[in-house]
Amino acid sequence: VTFVGCVGSRLDSDGQEVGCSRYCCESMIGQALRLKREGKRVRVLYKDIRTYSRNAEEMYETAAREGVQFFRYDREQAPEEALAYADGYVTLRDDLLGQRVRVPTDVLVLAVGLRPQEENVSAQLKVAHSSDGFLLERHPKLGPVEAGSPGIFLAGTAQGPKDVRESVSQGLAAAAKAAGLLAKDTIEKEPITARVDLEKCIVCGICVPACPFGAIELIGKVKVGEIKFIEAACQGCGSCSATCNYDAIEMPYFTDQQIYAQIDAALAKRPEEKILVFACNWCSYAGADQAGIEKVQYPSSARIIRTMCSARVREEFVAHAFEQGVGAVLMTGCRLTENGSDCHYINANEQTKKRYDFLLRKYSRRGIEPERFQLKWISAAEGKEFAAKVREMDQIVQARLSGTAAKV
Amino acid sequence: MNMWEDDEPITLDDTLWDRIAEITNGAATACFQCGTCTAICPWGQVRGEAINVRKLIRRSQLGLAGGNGAADPWLCTTCGYCEALCPRGVDIPGVIHSLRQDAWRRNAVPKGLPSLLWDVHWDGNPWGQPPSQRFAWGRGLDLETYGPEHEVLLYVGCSASYDRRLQKVARALVDIFRNAGVSFGVLGEDEPCCGESVLAVGNDEYLDEIIASNTALFQKIGARTVVTLSPHCFDIFDTRYNVGEDFRPVHYSQFLAELAGEGRLPAMGLESLVVTYQDPCYLGRRHGIYEEPRLTLESIEGVELREMDDNREQGLCCGGGGGRMFMETPAEERFALLRVKQAAATGAEVLATACPACLACLDDGLKVAGNDNLRVMDIAEIVQMALVKTPEAAVAGANR
């Protein structure tokens, strides 16, 4: 009997790197040892043995001592390239010997890697998934069994490859979390959830896809049906409010009125010298804070306006700032890269990006220099990066001012 | 295309695997191929390139003998340094022993080794020396043949029986025992070969015969405490013989420490002597006897003991173990040459040891290195010198 590890894990057939499947080494070795004890000749072909679970390393050693033979094959290749099975022999290059070896084999057992489910579940439930395709938890340390959307919990291999022990632990944790939610009659929330003004609302439905949590439902048809807000699901990011063209959605404590007032106050004197910075509550504002904690200096021309999410910043805020003659506008938010979003509202910062790209084109056409309107992702740890960006923009503002002065 | 693709693949042979697994008693299976053994094998130091012990172990895991870039199992001096450092506790000398055993079955042993077995068979020693000269070392010493009345049996061994340099060590031990009032006997011309050389080259079939006949002899004469001159004889008596409950083999360095502990050793002194000590592999790493020889040396008034760079668990082998005494080693590849240089670096006048193989190899190494300020001596000789040469010092020591 010959076992082959890392089939469809770590490297897929296209040579793309995929994650370690974690459960297979222990499972393979456990079975190999049992078969060996039943008198079979057992070999295990592996890339690396990763027996990280409790007592698994001991089991590996026992298997080796009891005569299960281990062969390491080429780690740079998928098993279908590295191994050939024909006429009762598996041929491979034994990495440890540096020679090709033919292993007599009647039964070839493939330890197949775990793969994430096809899209449907994550799309239906509006649960984010990470770049490897498995569902993503709210926070790796502080919310390991909760999905980004409240009321949805993750357990076991939905979230990533795990062995039985880990799956059971996570299942118990998820059950406990769910029980905690069910034990109360009501759900307590921060008073920042969206308020819809049904008189202004025309039921256009544009806000429905904007909500990362599926908290807005359109009942019936556009314009004639009804918009329903599920307050328990709303997390208060304000994406919907920024999308609404009819000012029908208000975000308590971050109302349009409040934000306009902040913009006006910030730009009351010498607006051309100012840099207006929109910072999200979670990453960017904390990043600016971090600059302070680290005592990194940045120019006093920066005026920071906090919103819960960068997706709250609506087109009109930026337009208002430029109308007031602002030197520059900087939008910041949680990181968004090709590998996924760090956004605390699942992927709301994708809307930020979309909006920024649109506005940049718009203002460029109107003759506003693109360097005066920038977007920068700042994580909570990136105090230095924040300060550097503000310094850069301050120079842009100063250069523009001296240019203007020269003209006069 | 990779280089390896040109090679014909090795087809695993289950029968071969079974045989190697059986004779190695599964010793190699636990190896996870870290390569520590290859990195620290002293052959790497003398050859300037590593000897691939790791690969040898990997091949034996797969039921293959040496070859194809793996270390040659006949090079091994069985010094056990690799085993001491192996993170998986693999009995590497044991695996090599098994591979040697396998080589005998396949008739694939180096030239000259079969005649070694015949020498043991016909002459009772691996040197091919005449049996009639076995007791030449004790001529004129008026020694008694061992009997039930004696406290210990002094087992001299083949090397010290025939080699003129090593005979002095045997005579020194006699001197020490008499000074300490130990009642002892010897076997004289009837002393058999313990079989260690046969064990070292891996012919266990013949070894079994030797052990059986020697066991019968020890039982017949009622051997109890047997003091050996060589750590190798001590090792085989201790690990391979099963004579009886009263049979207690000890190396003389242990026995001297016992005598000292019982207050039976007279006080010893020398004017002044700087000594460094070579740990014999079969005393140190194999049996953990590091301190007894050092205590004996340090108990001599006037002796200053200095350690070499590699000592105790990290001691460098003399190159004479594992049957290497019977195989040719080019002068520049002898471990002893390195060891003598290490000894000279301590500023010692005497490089002491407690093993005939070490003594012979280090003496040779010293000759090649050429150093007039250093001598190689056995601890027994130093003790003898301390007892006999300066009686005043001895008296002074006793009065203290």
Does B5 touch chain A if contact means CB atoms closer than 8 Å? yes
Give yes or no for a contact between B350 and B382, defined as CB atoms under 8 angstroms apart: yes
Interval A175-187 mean pLDDT: 91
Q: What is the pTM of this model?
A: 0.73
Name the strand (E) or helix (H) holding A333: strand A328-333
On whether any CB of chain A is under 8 Å from the CB of B14, the answer is yes
The H or E element spanning position A145 is: strand A143-147
Summarize the confidence of residues B203-210 as an average pLDDT.
96
CB atoms within 10 A of CB A30: 15
Beta carbons of A97 and B17 less than 8 Å apart: no
Q: How far is A303 from chain B (nearest CA, A)?
A: 59
- On chain B, the residues whose CB falls within 8 A of the CB of A39 are none
* Inter-chain CB proximity B10 and A100 less than 8 Å: yes
Q: Measured between beta carbons, which residues in chain B are less than 8 angstroms from residue A98? A: 4, 55, 69
List, in order, residues 6 or more apart from B81 with CB less than 8 Å away.
B40, B41, B42, B281, B285, B314, B315, B317
Separation in Å, CA of A115 to nearest CA in chain B? 30
Interchain CB contacts (distance < 8 Å): A and B: 58
The whole-number pLDDT of residue B18 equals: 77
Query: Cβ(B160)–Cβ(B137) under 8 Å?
Result: yes
Q: B356 to chain A, minimum CA–CA distance in Å?
A: 37
Q: Are strands B301-306 and B269-277 parallel, antiparallel or unpaired?
A: parallel
Q: Which residue of A has its CA nearest to B35?
A: A96
What pLDDT is recorded for position B388?
Answer: 60
For residue A47, give how far its alpha carbon lies from the nearest alpha carbon of chain B (Å).
Answer: 13
DSSP string for residues in A152-192: -B--GGGTS---HHHHHHHHHHHHHHHHHHHTSSS----TT
Q: DSSP for B240-254, please give it.
A: H----TT-EEEEHHH
Segment B14-43, tens digit of pLDDT: 776 777 677 667 778 889 899 999 999 999
Contacts of B17 in chain A (CB under 8 A): 69
Beta bridge mates, A378 = none
- Report long-range pairs for A250-256 (Cβ below 8 Å, ≥24 apart): A250/A194, A250/A195, A250/A196, A250/A197, A251/A192, A251/A194, A251/A195, A251/A308, A251/A312, A252/A191, A252/A192, A252/A193, A252/A195, A253/A191, A253/A192, A254/A192, A254/A307, A254/A308, A254/A312, A256/A314, A256/A316
Q: Is the pLDDT of residue B316 over 60?
A: yes
**Among chain A residues, CA nearest to B62:** A69
Contact of A281 with A306, CB cutoff 8 Å: yes
> Angle, nearest 10°, between helix axes A24-37 and A56-65?
40
Q: Which residue would you say has higher pLDDT here, B395 or A143? A: A143
Residues B323-356 pLDDT 10s: 999 998 998 899 999 999 999 999 999 999 999 9
- Rounded to the nearest angstrom, the minimum Cα separation between A61 and chain B is 6
Helix (H) / strand (E) element for B47: namely helix B42-47
- For the stretch A83-97, pLDDT in tens is 999 999 999 999 888
Task: Give A236-273 pLDDT, tens digit per residue.
Answer: 999 999 999 999 999 999 999 999 999 999 999 999 99
CB contact under 8 A, A99 and B7: yes
* Phi, then psi, of A17 in degrees rounded to 5: -75, 130
**pLDDT at residue B2 in the model:** 44
The DSSP annotation for B284-298 comes to HHHH---HHHHHHHH
A48: closest chain B residue by CA? B32
**Cβ atoms of A376 and A353 closer than 8 Å:** no
| Predicted confidence (pLDDT) per residue in B38-97, tens digit | 999 999 999 988 889 999 999 888 877 667 778 889 999 999 999 999 999 899 999 899
Q: In one letter, which amino acid is A309? A: C
Q: Do B10 and A93 touch (CB under 8 A)?
A: no
Check if B58 contacts A (Cβ < 8 Å): yes
What is the least distance, in Å, from the CA of A63 to any CA of chain B? 9
Asked if pLDDT for residue B393 goes beyond 80, the answer is no
A210 pLDDT above the threshold of 60? yes
Chain A neighbors of B29, CB-CB under 8 A: 64-67, 69
Give the CA count within 13 Å in the CB-facing half-sphere of B120: 25
Under an 8 A CB cutoff, do A102 and B21 touch?
A: no
Question: Phi first, then psi: what are they for A308, rounded to 5°?
Answer: -65, -40
Whole-number Å distance between alpha carbons of B336 and B318 = 5
The DSSP-derived string for B54-69 is HHHHHHHHTT--S-TT
pLDDT at residue B182 is higher than 90: yes
Please answer yes or no on whether A99 and B10 come within 8 Å at the CB atom. yes
Most A CBs within 10 Å, among B10, B24, B90, to test the A interface: B10
C-beta of residue B362 within 8 angstroms of C-beta of residue B351:
yes
pLDDT in tens, A64-85: 988 899 999 998 888 988 999 9
State the ipTM, two decimals: 0.77
Side-chain half-sphere of A328: how many Cα atoms within 13 Å? 25
Q: What distance in Å separates residue A103's CA from the closest CA in chain B?
A: 6
B59 min Cα distance to partner chain A (Å): 7
Any A CB within 8 A of B15 CB: no
B281: Cβ–Cβ under 8 A, 6 or more apart, which residues? B77, B78, B79, B80, B81, B231, B315, B317, B321
Distances (CA, A) of A233 to A119, A120, A126, A212, B130: 22, 20, 11, 10, 101
For residues B271 and B304, the answer to whether their CB atoms sit within 8 Å is no
- Find the mean pLDDT for residues A309-333: 95
Burial class (CB in 10 A: 0-12, 13-18, 19+), A382: buried
Q: Name the interface residues of A facing B (CB cutoff 8 Å).
A: 41, 61, 64-67, 69, 89, 91, 93-94, 96-104
**pLDDT over 80 at B312, yes or no:** yes
Q: What is the mean pLDDT of residues B170-177?
A: 96
Chain A residues lying within 8 Å of B10, measured CB to CB: 99-102
**Residue B248 touches chain A, beta carbons under 8 Å:** no
- Who's near B384: CB < 8 A, 6+ residues apart? B172, B175, B176
Round to whole Å and give the CA distance between B142 and B140: 6
Predicted confidence band at B7 (pLDDT cuts at 50, 70, 90)? low
- Residue B400 pLDDT > 60, yes or no? no
For testing contact with chain A, the best of B3, B8, B12 (most A CBs within 10 A): B12
Residue B117's pLDDT is what? Answer: 95
Chain B interface test: which of A29, A85, A94 (most B C-beta within 10 Å) = A94
Q: What is the mean pLDDT of residues B277-285?
A: 97
- Cβ contact A101–B61 (<8 Å): no
d(CA A190, CA A236) in angstroms, rounded, equals 8
CA distance A309 to chain B (A): 52
Give the mutation candidate from B3, B61, B88, B91 for the A interface (greatest A CB count, under 10 A).
Answer: B61
Residue B113 scores a pLDDT above 90? yes
pLDDT (tens digit, 9 = 90+) per residue, B115-129? 999 999 999 999 999
Would the CB atoms of B33 and A100 count as touching at under 8 Å?
Answer: no
Closest CA to B291 of B346, B230, B354, B348: B354
The separation between the first and the last C-alpha atoms of chain A, rounded to the nearest angstrom, is: 88
CB distance A101–B9 less than 8 Å? yes
A117 — pLDDT class (breaks 50, 70, 90): confident
Instruction: Find the length of chain A.
Output: 408
B395 — pLDDT class (breaks 50, 70, 90): very low
Q: How far is CA A80 from the centre of its chain?
A: 32
Q: What distance in Å separates the CA atoms of residue A91 and residue B65, rounded to the nearest whole number?
A: 20
Q: Does B16 touch chain A (CB under 8 A)?
A: no
Is B3 near chain A, with CB under 8 Å? no
Per DSSP, the residues of B311-355 read -GGGPPP-S-TTTGGGS---GGG-HHHHHHHHHHHTT-SEEEES-
Residue B155 has pLDDT above 70, yes or no: yes
d(CA A272, CA A394): 11
| pLDDT tier, A11 (very low <50, low <70, confident <90, very high otherwise) | confident
Residue B396 pLDDT: 43
Chain A residues whose CB is inside 8 A of the B7 CB are: 99-100
The pLDDT, as a whole number, for residue A405 is: 61
